[in-house]
Amino acid sequence: MTTTTDITAGAPLTLLSEDEQMFQQSVREFAIERIRPLVHQMDHDAKMDGDLIKAFFELGIMGIETPEQYGGAGSTFFNAVLVVEELSHVDAACGVLVDVQNTLVNNALIRWGNEDQKSKYLAMLARDTVGAYALSEAGSGSDAFALALRAEDKGDHWVLNGQKLWITNAAEAGIFIVFANANPDAGYKGITAFIVERDFPGFRVGKKEDKTGIRASSTCELIFEDCRVPKENVLGEPGKGYKIAIETLNEGRIGIGAQMLGVARGALEHAIAYSKERKQFGQPISSFQGIQFQIAQAATDLEAARLLVYNAARLKDAGRPFLREAAMAKLFSSQVAERVTSVSVEIFGGNGYTREYPVEKFWRDSKIGKIYEGTSNMQLATIAKTILTDRL
């Protein structure tokens, strides 16, 4: 096994404050020491290590933006992005578990939860409970609001019937943010967000998907059969679920950009180290210009992706518009991840195509970046719309 080289050293760190650099380094060390020894087995078993999830809570990275009064770190969105990147540079499955917890579930509760909901659920999510975000359905992907899951008002409670598909963290989650249509005649304006606990009557987690990449991250269907949800578990207000979903996903896309940034970086670090050790024609392959140029191009693409992701995160923290920047960050980072991981496999040659070496996993993990939390085509549509209705 090769020893990787840290390619974030130097100029990129000028983008970070001293405190952010120290925080980033602590998470990086955790990822290398605690996660890396488990990656191969978790990928093989398609299951996240339970003790590792406990360690995420102990480290305080499951409630990064959550205010301290609810047990969180009271930190920034930018720090959440750093965490996702650092975890993903070792294992993208760990990165997305923490990403969904912070940028989607916690974020939705922080922004739209009432005080009772925050006191109860944010505290649980910071302490020991994994969260999941349930929007997608069989007929509701890019057309996110074509929801078949129905919610019926029964006076003192709601009843949900239907299914959700492709829900990240579902196998481990104890709390689910669920979107259902409470008034189909009103179209998307009938969509309502609910906080569903795992043990609510009529709710269960169904089949787990057997995926190509991010295999240790659970992706499952959710089944609602006359699921009773207390009236007080409406998030926001009835009919405002579409707004919660759109605005939360805009922030979540920056997190996916960070995940793909980490995936690309992890693969390239392994490729650089391998190129210095692998010899052909009596010299390391890193001495050949063909290899050097591939590494140079990959590193340049990686740096451009980093700037897009970090800029979008900074804009969010500053309270400035970031819709276009988030779409650009996700679009470009997912493209870079696919290219850089593919080049990394090629630098390893035949070894790169085997599971004995780490780069093939980064390659498999990269593909999902163009698909979930908004496909690349949807990001292009968002970017085009904002450009054509505004000035660059």
Catalytic residue numbers, as ranges: 373
Are 295 and 271 in contact, with CB atoms under 8 Å apart?
yes
Q: Is 142 helix (H, G, I), strand (E, B) or coil?
A: coil
Are 284 and 277 in contact, with CB atoms under 8 Å apart?
yes
> Taking the CA atoms of the chain, what radius of gyration do you get in angstroms?
21
Tell me the two tokens of residue 392: 């660059």
Closest CA to 144 of 162, 130, 164: 164
E-strand spans in the chain? 130-134, 150-153, 157-168, 173-181, 191-197, 203-208, 219-230, 234-235, 279-280, 283-284
160 backbone dihedrals φ, ψ, rounded to 5°? -110, 135
Are 150 and 126 in contact, with CB atoms under 8 Å apart?
no
Beta bridge partners of 137: 140
Q: For residue 315, give every residue at least 6 positions away whose Cβ sits within 8 Å of its Cβ, in sequence order, or none.
A: 321, 322, 325
CA dist 152 to 61, 81, 144, 240, 299, Å? 36, 37, 20, 15, 52
